A and B are shown apart, each in its own frame.
Chain A
Amino acid sequence: GDSVTQMEGPVTLSEEAFLTINCTYTATGYPSLFWYVQYPGEGLQLLLKATKADDKGSNKGFEATYRKETTSFHLEKGSVQVSDSAVYFCALKKDSNYQLIWGAGTKLIIKP
């Protein structure tokens, strides 16, 4: 069945460091892929998305490229800030219905 695997957290970085959070998926066809962010005490917010191979989603300095050949959608940011501390979720849309399949989430901690 379809699945999403994210790197385990917590990921701890210093401010201004380069960020990569790995996400790989298993799915048939060409699923749409998403990154969501959840700040403490809040619901999830859509961060970026990509709907076909080689698409690059970007928002707020974050980027992710849909790589069909490696079935990956890694999240990157060139210079993180303390305010980026949150939990990040990778997700894909199931081919058979409207539901999203979620990764387990990766907690990111940025130290000043």
Chain B
Amino acid sequence: EADIYQTPRYLVIGTGKKITLECSQTMGHDKMYWYQQDPGMELHLIHYSYGVNSTEKGDLSSESTVSRIRTEHFPLTLESARPSHTSQYLCASSEGNRGVYEQYFGPGTRLTVT
């Protein structure tokens, strides 16, 4: 069982608020990822990190930002939430070494911006 955690699981917040979605993993994985997904639909990579102090934007443009100060922690921040940010956000991690490339996912955060 993968040990990757996301909080909160559900968040309803008003327009213009600043929010941070938390993601932590206890597997010591170097690689971490954030995806945006409408429930049951296609996954869109919005950010990734290959190690501490390394972050990159993904294929889908996003107004969010991320940081990677510690190996185990990869928070995502929205400075000013808008209704268009309403979605599910999935965090994942992978070892990415010795031919082991599968990603392990957290349970997701369902964000609703009113």
Q: How far is the CB of B89 from chain A (nearest CB, A)?
A: 10
With both beta carbons as reference points, the residue of chain A lying nearest to B94 in the complex is identified as A98
Closest-by-CB residue of A relative to B9 is A41
Asked whether, in the complex, the Cβ of A43 is within 8 Å of the Cβ of B43, the reply is no
**Residues 30-58 of A contacting B (Cβ, < 8 Å):** 32, 34, 38, 40-46, 49, 51
Evaluate contact between A46 and B104: CB separation under 8 angstroms: yes
Contact of B43 among A41, A42, A51, A89 (CB under 8 A): A89
User: Within the complex, which residue of B42, B43, B101, B104 is in contact with A98, where a contact is CB–CB below 8 Å?
Assistant: B101
Q: Give every chain A residue within 8 A of B45 (Cβ-Cβ).
A: 99
Closest to A94 in B: B101
The count of residues in chain B whose C-beta lies closer than 8 Å to any C-beta of chain A is 25
Check if B102 sits within 8 Å of A49, measured CB to CB: yes
B106 touches A98 (CB 8 A): no
- Nearest to B50 among chain A residues (CB) is A98
Which listed residue (B31, B40, B102, B103) contacts A38, Cβ 8 A?
Answer: B40
A32→B43 contact, CB < 8 A: no
Is B96 in the interface zone, CB < 8 Å from A? Answer: yes
The answer to whether B106 touches A34 (Cβ under 8 A) is: no
From the candidates B6, B31, B42, B110, name the one contacting A102 in the complex (CB within 8 A). B42
Q: How many residues of A contact B (CB 8 A)?
A: 22
A42 CA to B39 CA in the complex, in Å?
9
How many Å lie between the Cα of A91 and that of B6 in the bound state?
Answer: 23
Contacts of B41 in A (CB 8 A): 104-105
Q: Are B99 and A43 in contact (CB under 8 A)?
A: no
| Chain B positions near chain A (C-beta within 8 angstroms) | 6, 31, 33, 39-43, 45, 48, 50, 90, 92, 94, 96, 99, 101-108, 110
Extra pairs beyond A32-B101, A87-B40 (18, CB < 8 Å): A38-B40, A40-B40, A43-B106, A44-B43, A44-B92, A44-B105, A51-B99, A93-B101, A98-B31, A98-B50, A98-B96, A98-B101, A99-B45, A100-B101, A100-B103, A104-B42, A105-B41, A105-B42
7 cross-chain CB contacts under 8 A = A38-B40, A43-B105, A45-B105, A46-B102, A98-B101, A99-B48, A102-B42
